[in-house]
C-alpha cells in the first residue's frame, strides 16, 4: 500500500467515527420522534435488507443507475474527445455545455417526463443528464491539455491516428478524465435517485419518498444509511484509484 | 539497396535545404503572419556533428521540425537522403525535443520500447536493443522506474535512449540539456559525443550554449535573429575522438570568441525586439 492510500484510509476511518459519534449525540438530544440511534438503525437495516421487497427495489435502482452511468460515460467521453480534439468545435460548444452545467437539472424534469413518460426511461435520462456534462467537460480539458510534444513524438514514431489516440492521448489524459468520471458517478447517482423520488413507483428513491410520506423513521434512516455507505465507498475507491493515476504523472 | 543507390547516398549529402522559408500565418489573419525562418540553404554531410546556435526565438526549433518532417516549408525544398520530405516523417530520423517528452504512464524500459513500435523486429532483437540503449544511457538501475521518480536530466536521457533504439541515421537534438546545470551539461556532452562515435549517425544539435557547440561539433551554424538565416558556418577541426577536456585548448577559446562575434549583434536585436514588444 502506498502512503497516499494509507492516508486516505485513515481519513475515512476518522470521518466514520466522527459521524457515528455526532449521530449518537444528536439522537440523545432529539429523541425517538425524529431519529433512531446508530445501533437501532443497523438492527433495522439488517432485518430490512433481507426482505424480498428490498431486493426488488434495489434491483430496479441498480438497473436504472447502471444504464444511466453507462450512457453518461459513453456520451460524455464521445463529446469530450470530439470537442477536445477540435479547437473550433470546442470554441462553439464548450460555453453551451458550461451554461447547461450550471442550470439546476430539476427545471428540465417536466420536459423529460413529457418526453419519456413515467418509469425506467425517464429515470435513466435524468441520471444521465446529471452525469454526462461533467464527464464531457473534464474530458475536453484533459484532451486539450495533452502536451504537444507527446503528439509530436507520436508523429516521429509514425503512429497511426488510432494508435495516437489509444497509446498517447488516452493515457496522457487519463488522470484528468478519471477525475471527471468520479464526479460524473456521484452526480449520476443523485440524478437517478431524484428521478425515482419524483416519478416512479419502484426503486430506492421511490421507497425513500413514500417512507417520508408515511413518517416511517426506521425506513428513512435505513435507506439514508445504505445510500450513504454505497456512495461513500464508491467515492473512496475511485479517489484512491485517481490518486494512483496522478502519482505517476 | 543496390550498388548504384548506395553510391548515390554516399555521394549526396544526407540532408539538404534549398531556399527554405517558413511563415506561420494564423488562419484568417494574414496580418499576424510570422516570418520565422529563411531563406536558408544548408547541407548536412553523412556522419558529421553539426551544431546550430542562435538568439532565442530565431527559428531553431522551426528548422529542426522542417528536417524532421513535422512541418512543411512555406517555400523551398527539404530533402533527406536525396528524397524530398514534404511533411512526411522520414524513416531513419530520431528526434529529441526541447521539452521533456518522456511518457509518465510508462516505465523507463517501456518508454524506450515505445520507440520500436513501428519496427517489425523479432522479440529477441527488441530486448537486445532496449538493453543496449539502457546501458548506453546509464539507465539500467532505473529500468522499472517511472519518469516521475527521475531527475530532469535522467528523463532527457530516457528520451535519447528511446530515439537510439531505432538506430537512426540522423539524430536531431533540440537543446536537450537546456534545463541542466553546467557540470552535468559537460558530462552529457561527452555522452552525446560517445554515442555519435558508436552509432556513426549524423547529429544535428541545437543549443544556446556557445561553449557546448564549440566543444561538440565539427561544424557550427550561426543563425541571425528572426527570421532566422545562417550568417556564419564555423569549422572546428576537432579529431573524432575528442571529449570535454578540449575546453582547455586554445582553439576552443578562439572558436567561442568567433561565435560570439557573429552572434553579439543578432542577440542584441533579439533582446531589442523583446523590449519593443512588451
Ligand atoms: N506554431 C507556430 N505558430 C506561430 N508562430 C510560431 C509557431 N511556432 C513558432 N513560432 C514563432 O516562430 C519563431 C521561431 O520559433 P522557434 O521555436 O523556432 O524559435 P527557437 O529559436 O527555437 O527559440 P528558443 O531558443 O526559445 O527555443 C518565434 O517567434 C515563434 O513565436
Ligand atoms: Mg526552440
Q: What is the pLDDT of residues B72-120, one digit of tens each?
A: 888 888 888 878 887 677 788 899 998 889 999 999 999 999 988 878 8
Q: Are residues B70 and B208 in the same domain?
A: yes
Is B115 inside any structural domain? yes
Q: Are residues B175 and B271 in the same domain?
A: yes
Contacts of residue B248, defined as CB under 8 A and 6 or more positions apart, other chains included, come to none
The total of structural domains in chain B comes to 2
> How far does residue B204's CA lie from ligand 2's centre (Å)?
13
Q: Are residues B203 and B262 in the same domain?
A: yes
Name the residue of B30, B51, B60, B207 to mutate for ligand 1: max ligand atoms within 8 A of Cβ: B60
Q: Are residues B124 and B251 in the same domain?
A: no
At residue B276, the pLDDT reads 47
Is B1 inside any structural domain? no
Nearest-by-Cβ selection for A249 from B68, B93, B104: B104
For residues A63 and A116, the model is more confident at A63
Query: Which residues of chain B have a CB within 8 Å of the CB of A155?
Result: 70, 89
Confidence band, pLDDT 50/70/90 cuts, at residue A1: low
Q: What is the pLDDT of residues A115-163, one digit of tens each?
A: 888 878 888 999 999 999 999 999 999 999 999 999 999 998 888 888 9
What mean pLDDT value characterizes chain A? 88
Nearest-by-Cβ selection for A150 from B68, B101, B148: B101
Extended strands (E) in B161-229? 170-174, 202-206, 219-223
Q: Is residue A56 classed as helix, strand or coil in its secondary structure? A: helix
Q: Are residues B163 and B131 in the same domain?
A: yes
Among residues B135, B167, B199, which one ends one of the domains? B167
Q: Are residues B131 and B41 in the same domain?
A: no
Question: Which residues span the domain enclosing B50?
Answer: 13-27+34-92+168-277
| 8 Å CB contact of B118 and A159 | yes
Q: Are residues B229 and B240 in the same domain?
A: yes
Q: Are residues B47 and B74 in the same domain?
A: yes
Among residues B167, B188, B212, which one ends one of the domains? B167
| 8 Å CB contact of B97 and A149 | yes
Is B117 inside any structural domain? yes
Q: Are residues B122 and B258 in the same domain?
A: no
Q: Are residues B173 and B157 in the same domain?
A: no
Instruction: Give bridge partners of residue B52 from the DSSP assignment.
Output: B206, B221
- Cβ-based burial of B174 (10 A; exposed 0-12, middle 13-18, buried ≥19): buried
At residue B109, the pLDDT reads 93
Is B2 inside any structural domain? no
Rg from Cα positions in chain A:
22
Among residues B167, B187, B202, which one ends one of the domains? B167
Q: Please count the other Cβ atoms lying within 10 Å of the Cβ belonging to residue A187.
A: 22
- Any idea what the CATH number is for the domain that residue B231 is in? 3.40.50.300
Q: What is the pLDDT of residues A186-229, one digit of tens each?
A: 999 999 999 888 878 888 999 999 998 888 888 999 999 999 99
Secondary structure of chain A in the HEC alphabet? CCHHHHHHHHHHHHHHHHHHHHHHHHHHHHCCCCCCCHHHHHHHHHHHHCCHHHHHHHHHHHHHHHHHHHHHHHHHHHHHHHHHHCHHHHHHHHHHHHHHHHCCHHHHHHHHHHHHCCCHHHHHHHHHHHHHHHHHHHHHHHHHCCCHHHHHHHHHCCCCHHHHHHHHHHHHHHHHHHHHHHHHHHHHHHHHHHHHHHCCCCCHHHHHHHHHHCCCHHHHHHHHHHHHHHHHHHHHHHHHHHHHHHHHC
Q: Is the dihedral of CA B105, B110, B115, B117 positive or negative?
A: negative
Query: Above 80 in pLDDT, residue A2?
Result: no
Interface of B with A in 52-71 (CB under 8 A): 65, 68, 70
> How far does residue B61's CA lie from ligand 1's centre (Å)?
7
Nearest-by-Cβ selection for A152 from B70, B103, B106: B70
Mutation to test the A interface, candidates B85, B95, B144, B158, most A Cβ within 10 Å: B95
- Cβ-based burial of B27 (10 A; exposed 0-12, middle 13-18, buried ≥19): exposed
| 8 Å CB contact of B70 and A248 | no
Full-model pTM: 0.81
- The nearest CA of chain B is from the CA of A152 a distance in Å of 7
Is B39 inside any structural domain? yes
What mean pLDDT value characterizes chain B? 84
Q: What is the pLDDT of residues B151-193, one digit of tens each?
A: 888 898 899 999 989 889 999 999 888 777 778 788 888 888 8
Query: Which residues of chain B have a CB within 8 Å of the CB of A158?
Result: 89, 91, 117-118
Domains in chain A with CATH codes: 58-248 (1.10.3720.10)
Is B54 inside any structural domain? yes
Q: Are residues B132 and B242 in the same domain?
A: no
Q: What is the pLDDT of residues A70-98, one digit of tens each?
A: 999 999 999 999 998 887 888 888 888 88
Q: Are residues B76 and B131 in the same domain?
A: no
> How far does residue B80's CA lie from ligand 2's centre (Å)?
21
Nearest-by-Cβ selection for B68 from A156, A159, A174: A156
Is B5 inside any structural domain? no
Query: Above 50 in pLDDT, residue B278?
Result: no
Is B7 inside any structural domain? no
Q: Chain A within 8 Å of B110 (Cβ-Cβ)?
A: no
> How far does residue B173's CA lie from ligand 1's centre (Å)?
16
- Nearest in space to B175 (alpha carbons), one of B201, B212, B226, B202: B212
Q: Chain B within 8 Å of A153 (Cβ-Cβ)?
A: yes
Amino acid at each position: 500500500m502506498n502512503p497516499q492510500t494509507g492516508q486516505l484510509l485513515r481519513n475515512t476511518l476518522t470521518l466514520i467515527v466522527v459521524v457515528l459519534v455526532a449521530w449518537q449525540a444528536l439522537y440523545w438530544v432529539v429523541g425517538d420522534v425524529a431519529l433512531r440511534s446508530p445501533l437501532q438503525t443497523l438492527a433495522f437495516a439488517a432485518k430490512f435488507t433481507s426482505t424480498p421487497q428490498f431486493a426488488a427495489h434495489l434491483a430496479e435502482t441498480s438497473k436504472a443507475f447502471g444504464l444511466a452511468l453507462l450512457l453518461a460515460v459513453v456520451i460524455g467521453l464521445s463529446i469530450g474527445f470530439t470537442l477536445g480534439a477540435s479547437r473550433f468545435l470546442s470554441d462553439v460548444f464548450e460555453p453551451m455545455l458550461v451554461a447547461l452545467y450550471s442550470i439546476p437539472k430539476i427545471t428540465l424534469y417536466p420536459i423529460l417526463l413529457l418526453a419519456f413518460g413515467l418509469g425506467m426511461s425517464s429515470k435513466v435520462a435524468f441520471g444521465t443528464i446529471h452525469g454526462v456534462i461533467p464527464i464531457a467537460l473534464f474530458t475536453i480539458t484533459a484532451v486539450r491539455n495533452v502536451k504537444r510534444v507527446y503528439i509530436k513524438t507520436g508523429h516521429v514514431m509514425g503512429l497511426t491516428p488510432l494508435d495516437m489516440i489509444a497509446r498517447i492521448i488516452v493515457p496522457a489524459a487519463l488522470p484528468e478524465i478519471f477525475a471527471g468520471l468520479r464526479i460524473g458517478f456521484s452526480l449520476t447517482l443523485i440524478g437517478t435517485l431524484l428521478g425515482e423520488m419524483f416519478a416512479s413507483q419502484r426503486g430506492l428513491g421511490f421507497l425513500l419518498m413514500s417512507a417520508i410520506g408515511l413518517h416511517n423513521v426506521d425506513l428513512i434512516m435505513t435507506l439514508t444509511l445504505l445510500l450513504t455507505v454505497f456512495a461513500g465507498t464508491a467515492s473512496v475507491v475511485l479517489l484512491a484509484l485517481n490518486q494512483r493515476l496522478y502519482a505517476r504523472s | 539497396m543496390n550498388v548504384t543507390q548506395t553510391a548515390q547516398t554516399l555521394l549526396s549529402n544526407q540532408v539538404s535545404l534549398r531556399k527554405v522559408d517558413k511563415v506561420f500565418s494564423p488562419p484568417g489573419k494574414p496580418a499576424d503572419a510570422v516570418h520565422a525562418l529563411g531563406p536558408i540553404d544548408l547541407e548536412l554531410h553523412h556522419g558529421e556533428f553539426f551544431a546550430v546556435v542562435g538568439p532565442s526565438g530565431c527559428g531553431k526549433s522551426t528548422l529542426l521540425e522542417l528536417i524532421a518532417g513535422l512541418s512543411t516549408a512555406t517555400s523551398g525544398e527539404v530533402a533527406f537522403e536525396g528524397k524530398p520530405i514534404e511533411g512526411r516523417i522520414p524513416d531513419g530520423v530520431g528526434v529529441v525535443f526541447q521539452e521533456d517528452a518522456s511518457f509518465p504512464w510508462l516505465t523507463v524500459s517501456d518508454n524506450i520500447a515505445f520507440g520500436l513500435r513501428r519496427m517489425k523486429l523479432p522479440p529477441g532483437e527488441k530486448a537486445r536493443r532496449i538493453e543496449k540503449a539502457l546501458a548506453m544511457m546509464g539507465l539500467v538501475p532505473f529500468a522499472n522506474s517511472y519518469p516521475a521518480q527521475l531527475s530532469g536530466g535522467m528523463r532527457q536521457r530516457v528520451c535519447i535512449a528511446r530515439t537510439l533504439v531505432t538506430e537512426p541515421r540522423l539524430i536531431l537534438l533540440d537543446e536537450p540539456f537546456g534545463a541542466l546545470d553546467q557540470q552535468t551539461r559537460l558530462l552529457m556532452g561527452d555522452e552525446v559525443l560517445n554515442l555519435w562515435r558508436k552509432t556513426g549517425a549524423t547529429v544535428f544539435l541545437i543549443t544556446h550554449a556557445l561553449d557546448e557547440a564549440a566543444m561538440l561539433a565539427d561544424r557550427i551554424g550561426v543563425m541571425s535573429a528572426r527570421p532566422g538565416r545562417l550568417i556564419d558556418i564555423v569549422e572546428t577541426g576537432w579529431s573524432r575522438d575528442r571529449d570535454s577536456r578540449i575546453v582547455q585548448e586554445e582553439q576552443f577559446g578562439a572558436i567561442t570568441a568567433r561565435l560570439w562575434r557573429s552572434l553579439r549583434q543578432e542577440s542584441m536585436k533579439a533582446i531589442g525586439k523583446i523590449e519593443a514588444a512588451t
